[in-house]
Amino acid sequence: MAEIRNAAESMDEALALLKAGEIVAIPTETVYGLAGDATNGAAVAKIFEAKGRPRFNPLIAHVATMAMAEEIAEFDQLSRKLAEKFWPGPLTLVLPLKPGGAIHPLVTAGLDTIALRMPRGFGARLIERLGRPLAAPSANSSGRISPTTAAAVADDLCDRIRLVVDGGATSVGLESTIVKVEDGKLRLLRPGGIAAGELEAAAGAALLRGAKNGVEAPGMLASHYAPGALVRINAEDVAAGEALLAFGPERARNAEGAVAVLNLSETGDLREAASNLFSHLQALDRSGAKMIAVEPIPYEGLGEAINDRLSRAAAPRDSGASYK
């Protein structure tokens, strides 16, 4: 079983493990990450192995400073502007990789682009002390829900990792928003912790949506983020034996018959809902219900990313099974 240790007292241990080429689960503001030295191929291979993640699915490299980012990737004007505005924070930029850099090719799955993010808090301090970027996908088995608490990481990855650094529940609760600049225009590759509208305001133009050539962020395949129970979205009523994931002050029909009920936000606050999404799905999964009915959630602001994750959780499992 992985050891869970408080962030305040585990910096040195985490650092020693990373220097030795080991992997460590760490808190970030979005979700917990499974981190390894991005310049060490053996460490990166351990991340793929622990998650059971296909090697064609590239990882995000996390940096502590703009100088570290510029050593790794070429920044165009718009990407630099977004980095200045939203870093550190829940934004990932896909950028052309600088040739001859120190990032191990396993991180990018051989692509000539790299996904870069500057996290807040413990992760940033750890990267600064290590002096090298950290490759870190979400700290869950491939195809499962991203963890927002140290306990969720330990439950899922168990003896596949040694240390989980506990920084409490993550504040954002959803993975970062991933964007890429193409010919001066901004494309949204994954909705996430920064709402599309905020990026459009900063970029001064509407976002392009979806990948240009099919699946561009390979982790965006349909069935992903799946809990054990089946998920039914936009539920107007609750059937016998179902658990209910509620949102806002008004209940779906027959809500009183649900096996278990959790509300993402009683007041209908989308930020609060985002931070509760994965832990509530996991808790309802543990209720033993075979189906989780989810009340409709508006598509505005962070609602886009919430609906994105829910529709993946609700997608037919067969189509994505080979991907897990």
Give the per-residue contact string, 10-29, with ligand TXA (x = CB under 6 A; - = no): ------------------x-
Per DSSP, the three-state class of 92 is strand
User: Least CB distance from residue 140 to ligand TXA, whole Å?
Assistant: 8
User: Least CB distance from residue 288 to ligand TXA, whole Å?
Assistant: 28
Integer Cα distance of 118 and 127 in angstroms:
10
Q: How is residue 158 annotated by DSSP?
A: G
Which range touches ligand TXA (CB under 6 A), out of 86-94, 154-162, 283-291, 292-300?
86-94
Which segments of 183-319 are extended strands (E)?
185-190, 208-209, 230-232, 242-246, 261-263, 291-294
Distances (CA, A) of 127 to 118, 122, 170: 10, 9, 18
Among residues 184, 124, 136, which one has the least CA distance to residue 37?
136
Nearer to Mg ion, 134 or 293 (CB): 134
Q: Is 138 one of the binding residues for Mg ion (CB under 5 A)?
A: yes
Residues of span 24-53 touching ligand TXA by CB under 6 A:
28, 30-31, 33
Integer Cα distance of 151 and 314 in angstroms:
24
* Binding test (CB under 6 A) with ligand TXA, winner from 7, 17, 60, 258: 60
User: Could you tell which of Mg ion, ligand TXA, none binds residue 4, using a CB distance below 5 to 8 A set by kind?
Assistant: none
Which range touches Mg ion (CB under 5 A), out of 3-11, 66-74, 106-114, 133-141?
133-141
Q: Write down the residue that tokens 């240790």 correspond to.
A: 5
Judge contact between 247 and 295, C-beta under 8 A: yes
Give the containing element (helix H, strand E) for 134.
Answer: strand 134-135
* Binding test (CB under 6 A) with ligand TXA, winner from 25, 68, 69, 94: 94
Q: Is 178 one of the binding residues for ligand TXA (CB under 6 A)?
A: yes
Residues of span 162-221 touching Mg ion by CB under 5 A:
none
User: Could you tell which of Mg ion, ligand TXA, none binds residue 136, using a CB distance below 5 to 8 A set by kind?
Assistant: ligand TXA
Cα separation of the two ends of the chain = 23
- Binding site membership for L-threonine: which residues? 30, 62, 117, 136, 176
For Mg ion, the binding residues (CB under 5 A) are 138
